[in-house]
């Protein structure tokens, strides 16, 4: 049932404030200002190294988590797509935690990676949305997302719920490693608790995004740029756009532009820049200005402060609510999803069932 939405994808984008809140309820103890995991008996302090493996959108959630685990817990993280991890003789030392991330819990390559790591003596944590799935059963530690069934082939609400769980895991790892004071934990709980309302605000930009989608729908190629945790979001934006609108899109780390891809820039290639105000803002903006100096047409996704500072000269801006850097990647997923959605609708493609794709990839 699509409710009053035209597509499951739209319905699932709109469900995010509720399902992320539902997911966070399983990980936040609001009254005690604590962030916990539903695996009370496991001692995270023994974890020496983290390996993250997933595919597609779930992999991009893992990329965001790598920044969090390293920043908050100071634990080294190795991350790879499952289809590469399986065949590259990865080095996994004793005391390692392997995290698999999967909406379906059935993706063949991710499951094979799980089994491989298990045989190598790793502890397996599974961030999965389907609690009865094979990965959920075979993992040592189950960290469920509570997104509910996801029908649209393009993953949306599963992604933001994965990020919520991974933020909670990063905080717990930091605590276990003695790298988080009760005051810092309290602040993290407060920031995470703001996510559902911030997602709701972000959904309020839907009409503005729909209005500018036409400028992207005519393009043959689109670039997405971001830095830090916005880099995986750029990759996710490009993946969403290509899979449902069939427009060629690529995500790049903003600082990599001048190492090659800037040669592609002309007035026919829209460049979507994801840059919330914060410590990396100036750096991303200077990469954006290099694009503009070469005639590139930029769409800037930022908050009021960022748009006031750098919105001039952009063909469009998408103004987001102000979000703390910890939660920004969760909140900024919404405009990236909505943009892909409206471009696909403008192009008349089959949004929920894009060609050549299946919801659950159970073959390698």
* Minimum CB distance to ligand F6R smaller for 20 or for 285: 20
Q: How far is the CB of 140 from ligand F6R (least distance, A)?
A: 18
- DSSP code of residue 332: T
Q: How far is the CB of 108 from ligand F6R (least distance, A)?
A: 9
- How large is the greatest C-alpha to C-alpha distance in the chain, in angstroms? 57
Stretch 225-254: interaction string toward ligand F6R, x if CB under 6 A: --------------x---x-----------
Q: Where are the beta strands (DSSP E) in 18-75?
A: 28-29, 34-35, 49-54
Under the binding rule (CB under 6 A), the answer on residue 302 touching ligand F6R is no
How many other CB atoms are found less than 10 A from the CB of residue 309?
16
Q: What are phi and psi of 207, to 5 degrees?
A: -65, -40
Question: How far apart (Å, rounded) are the C-alpha atoms in residues 33 and 188?
Answer: 9
**Separation in Å, CA 258 to CA 70, 239, 264, 296, 301:** 27, 22, 11, 13, 21
Q: Which stretch binds ligand F6R (CB under 6 A): 52-60, 87-95, 269-277, 327-335?
A: 52-60
Q: How far is the CB of 107 from ligand F6R (least distance, A)?
A: 3
Q: Is 359 a catalytic residue?
A: yes
Among 103, 123, 160, 302, binds ligand F6R (CB under 6 A): 103
Question: How far apart (Å, rounded) are the C-alpha atoms in residues 219 and 201?
Answer: 28
Q: How far is the CB of 361 from ligand F6R (least distance, A)?
A: 5
Under the binding rule (CB under 6 A), the answer on residue 110 touching ligand F6R is yes
Under the binding rule (CB under 6 A), the answer on residue 58 touching ligand F6R is yes
- Here the tokens at position 34 are 């604590």
Q: How far is the CB of 350 from ligand F6R (least distance, A)?
A: 14
Among 23, 51, 83, 104, binds ligand F6R (CB under 6 A): 104
**167: enclosing H helix or E strand:** helix 157-176
Rg for the chain (alpha carbons), in Å?
20
**Separation in Å, CA 47 to CA 113, 121, 174, 176, 347:** 19, 13, 11, 9, 48
* Minimum CB distance to ligand F6R smaller for 244 or for 316: 244
Under the binding rule (CB under 6 A), the answer on residue 23 touching ligand F6R is no
Q: Which residues are catalytic?
A: 359
Catalog residues that contact ligand F6R under the rule CB under 6 A. 55-58, 102-104, 107, 110, 154-155, 239, 243, 360-361
């Amino acid at each position: 049932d699509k409710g009053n939405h035209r597509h499951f994808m739209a319905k699932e984008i709109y469900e995010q404030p509720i399902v992320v809140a539902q997911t966070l309820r399983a990980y936040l103890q609001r009254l005690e200002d604590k962030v916990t995991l539903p695996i009370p008996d496991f001692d995270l302090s023994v974890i020496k190294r983290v390996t993250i493996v997933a595919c597609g959108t779930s992999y991009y959630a893992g990329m965001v988590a790598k920044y969090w685990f390293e920043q908050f817990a100071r634990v080294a993280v190795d991350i790879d797509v499952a289809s590469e991890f399986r065949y590259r003789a990865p080095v996994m030392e004793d005391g390692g935690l392997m995290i698999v991330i999967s909406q379906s819990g059935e993706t063949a390559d991710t499951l094979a990676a799980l089994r491989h790591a298990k045989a190598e003596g790793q502890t397996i944590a599974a961030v999965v949305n389907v609690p009865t799935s094979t990965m959920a059963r075979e993992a040592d530690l189950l960290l469920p997302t509570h997104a509910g069934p996801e029908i649209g082939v393009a993953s949306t609400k599963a992604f933001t719920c994965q990020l919520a769980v991974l933020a909670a895991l990063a905080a717990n790892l930091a605590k276990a490693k003695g790298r988080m004071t009760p005051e810092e934990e309290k602040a993290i709980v407060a920031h995470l608790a703001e996510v559902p309302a911030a997602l709701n605000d972000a959904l309020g930009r839907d009409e503005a995004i729909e209005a500018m989608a036409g400028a992207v729908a005519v393009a043959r190629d689109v670039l997405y740029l971001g830095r830090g945790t916005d880099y995986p979001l750029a990759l996710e934006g490009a993946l969403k756009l290509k899979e449902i609108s069939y427009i060629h899109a690529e995500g790049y780390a903003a600082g990599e532009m001048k190492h090659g891809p800037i040669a592609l820039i002309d007035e026919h290639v829209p460049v979507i820049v994801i840059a919330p105000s914060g410590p990396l803002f100036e750096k991303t903006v200077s990469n954006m200005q290099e694009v503009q100096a070469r005639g590139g047409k930029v769409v800037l996704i930022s908050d009021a402060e960022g748009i006031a500072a750098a919105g001039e000269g952009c063909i469009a801006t998408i103004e987001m609510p102000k979000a703390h850097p910890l939660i920004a990647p969760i909140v900024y997923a919404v405009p990236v999803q909505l943009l892909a959605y409206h471009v696909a609708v403008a192009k008349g493609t089959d949004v929920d069932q894009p060609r050549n794709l299946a919801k659950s990839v159970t073959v390698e």
